[in-house]
Amino acid sequence: MVKNLLGKLNLGWMIITHIKNWKHVFFNYFGISHNEYINFKFRDGKSVKIRNVKEKEDTSGLATICEIFLMNNYCPKEMKIKQKDIIIDIGANIGVFSIYASFKAPKGRVYSYEPFQIHYNRLLDNLRLNNLKNIFPSNLAVCKNKGKRNLFVNKECSGMHSIIFKNNSREKMVVNCTTLEDIFKENKVKQCDFLKIDCEGAEYEIIYSSKK
């Protein structure tokens, strides 16, 4: 209990020290803010637009921003992104990691893949908000074969839609798919410096269907 409390206090302090409009973050967290979207303005110039956390079906915003921008969970010290790196973001969601990677690699390129249309639209919105020119988004799923697959929609958590797990989902949609190999070919990528994959179970088939 004490450990959990200390963790929350530490996170609160990190939000205050890293985010310029931190009051709005807390308003968002406690449901005081009634705007549909909220802009998180970081002190170093970055900004990310997310849906208000009061929308219970959408858990992808605040938690993801904290994990990526404040805690560096996706980029520990031994896995730093360099200025000229080529990054591939599979399962880009609303683009939080892509934005993070873009700022870390201003002279590099970020290729983002997100099949769920609502998330993809918000990803595009985030790119416009931040005026980022080195992110190249695609409204595609990534799996072992090109073509079409069913994407099972998780109504409880918008970050857990999957082409692998049905999760008792009664809703599904057909999405277009590409492969990791084709990402390299079509974008003329000779070397990927940082590969981020977060696609709810498809990671195995993506990696093991790719040529070495």
Domain ranges within the chain, ordered by starting residue: 1-73, 80-212
Per-residue pLDDT tens for 19-38? 999 888 888 777 777 777 77
Confidence label for 57 from pLDDT (cuts 50, 70 and 90) = very low
Residue 106 pLDDT > 90 = yes
Strands 37-41 and 47-51: antiparallel
Per-residue pLDDT tens for 107-139? 999 999 999 898 899 899 888 888 889 999 999
Per-residue pLDDT tens for 63-96? 788 888 888 888 877 788 999 999 999 999 889 8
List the CATH code of the domain at 80-212.
3.40.50.150
User: What whole-number distance in Å separates Cα of residue 32 and Cα of residue 128?
Assistant: 27
Residue recorded with tokens 């302090």: 13
**Mean of the per-residue pLDDT values for the chain?**
81
